[in-house]
Amino acid sequence: MADPMKIRANVVGDSTEVKVLMSHEMETGQRKDAQGKTIPAWFIQTVTATYNGKPVLNAQWGPAVSKNPFLSFKFKGGAKGEKVQVTWVDNRGDKRTDEATIA
């Protein structure tokens, strides 16, 4: 399983700003190894974020996203002490979910 995501969530005015650093190799499927064989594609396909059980972000990614991607977004609402949950699923079916407390 992948390393935990680093998530920071802060109230900014009437919205919440979330910053996420994900740990993932993100192979495009176009690079070759030392023997000249193509390295299979391996990348995050979907990212979802929820607040109080309701989705605040749904994203579909492809192989063009960089290794260890960084994501930043805002949503209306949120209060200090509440939780934001972020989940990603890659093209191999691996999944990672982490949460952060809003500061």
Domains of the chain are 6-101 (2.60.40.10)
8 A C-beta contact, residue 101 and residue 82: yes
Tokens 């999944």 label which residue? 95
User: How confident is the model at residue 49, as a pLDDT?
Assistant: 98
CA distances (Å), origin 71, targets 17, 23, 25, 35, 36: 11, 12, 15, 34, 33
Q: What is d(CA 56, CA 73) in angstroms, rounded to the nearest whole number?
A: 9
8 A C-beta contact, residue 19 and residue 8: yes
56-71 CB burial, b ≥16 within 10 A, e <16: bbeeebeeebeeebeb
**pTM of the predicted structure, to 2 decimals:** 0.94
* Closest to 26 in 3D by CA, of 88, 80, 99: 88
User: How confident is the model at residue 2, as a pLDDT?
Assistant: 79
User: How confident is the model at residue 23, as a pLDDT?
Assistant: 97
Q: pLDDT under 50 in the chain at which residues?
A: none
User: How confident is the model at residue 16, as a pLDDT?
Assistant: 98
Positive or negative CA dihedral for 93, 59, 4, 81?
A: negative
